[in-house]
Each structure stands twice: as C-alpha cells, then as structure tokens.
Amino acid sequence: MHVFVTRTVADIDFAFERLSQANVLGCDTETSGLNSKYGKLFSIQFSDGEFNVLVPLSEGIELGALHEVLANAAIVKIFHNARFDLEFLTANNIAVDNVFDTMIAEKVLTRGANQSASLAETLYRYFAVDLDKSQRRKFHSRWNGIWTDELVDYALADVVHLPDLMKEQTQWMKSLGLYDEFTLQMMKF
C-alpha cells in the first residue's frame, strides 16, 4: 500500500495530479465526534486502490486543489456511510459530487438478512480483511492533532478497499436485479 501524507502545497498538487486521473476514489474522514455542529474535521482520506492519500487538516494543512477532485462529477467518490462524511464536509464548505455509498449498497444487498453493514464486517465478508478499529478512540476533541504512523495506517485502511468493494457490490446488485433499488436509495441524499 502506497501511503502519502500531504504536508505542503507541493504535496497537495502531487496528490491532485494522481487522484484527478482516477475514475473512482475511496473517500473517508476522521472527526472528533458524531455531530458536525460540535465536532472537528481532522482529516480527509482518498484512495484509488493503490495510491492512498491522507490530508491532515488537524495539522493546519489546507485541502487546496483536492477540493476540485471532490467536486468533480466525472469521478465517483466512494464512502461508507456517506451521510456522516458529507455532513462534516458540507459543514466545512467542501462540495462533493457523484457519491456511491457502500453502506447503502450493502443494506440493499443484505435486506432482511439481519447482517451488519459496518465497514469492518462488510470488508471481512467480501475480502476477509480484518480492520482494527481500536485506533478510532484516539480521535476526540482533546486529541493533539498529530498524525502518527499508526493513525495514518488506521485512517487509510478504511479507504483502500472501497474501489474494489464498490465493484463487487455493483456486480452483485446488477446480477440480483437490485441496482435500481440502490439508485433510488442514493437519490434520498
């Protein structure tokens, strides 16, 4: 996994050049809480499945040209529980266009099966990936905002598999005749 943490304008520009060429990008945020009214946006993560970028907003790094990637309708932005991330991004004046939500896709696929649609359990079912979510508790309002290697790895683990997950879910929804239901659910955003 190629990990790139942006800390300069040149880093942002380099990440933009690579990510703006993608058709699909896994995206995620790390925040201090569950409510954008009271919580802080600590980071935004991106992955095309190979190149994985963390923008450490908590360290005072600006999103810069990466605003354009999120707003670009030609690139599908893949989130798991997009409603949560979009709430924080919108509260920080960051526009996002063309969203695919893997949590909604999983709920459409497992309807009535009484299975969790959490990212950890979903990735385990599809790819036998075991996500360690223990680092999550370090993100709180009194966190110092400094990104350790462990925190970077934790944050990027949530996005690196999203392009492959979207591909798998889309194939299943189409083969089961559920893609129209997914589209209908996504229109509720």
Please name which of 80, 64, 177 lies closest in space to residue 123, comparing C-alpha atoms: 80
| Predicted TM-score (pTM) above 0.85 | yes
pLDDT per residue as tens digits for the range 118-152:
999 999 999 999 988 888 888 887 899 999 999 99
Residue 76 pLDDT exceeds 90: yes
Contact 108, 57 (CB under 8 A): no
Please name which of 111, 104, 123 lies closest in space to residue 183, comparing C-alpha atoms: 104
Residue 112's pLDDT is: 75
Topology of domain 2-186 in CATH is: Nucleotidyltransferase; domain 5 (3.30.420)
Residue 189 pLDDT exceeds 80: no
Number of H helices, E strands in the chain: 8, 6
Query: What residues have CB less than 8 Å from 114, skipping those under 6 apart?
Result: none
CB crowding 27-43: b at 16 or more within 10 Å, else e: bbbbbbeeebeebbbbb
pLDDT per residue as tens digits for the range 12-54:
999 999 999 999 999 999 999 999 999 999 999 999 999 999 9
Contact 53, 46 (CB under 8 A): yes
Query: What residue segments make up the domains of the chain, in order of their start?
Result: 2-186
Residue 1 pLDDT exceeds 80: no
Q: How far apart are CA 99 and CA 110, in angstroms?
A: 20
Q: How far apart are CA 91 and CA 85, in angstroms?
A: 10
Residue 93 pLDDT exceeds 90: yes
Q: SS3 for 110? A: coil
Residue 19's pLDDT is: 98
Residue 107's pLDDT is: 95
Query: Where do we find the tokens 């709920």?
Result: 107
pLDDT per residue as tens digits for the range 143-176:
999 999 999 999 999 999 999 999 999 999 999 9
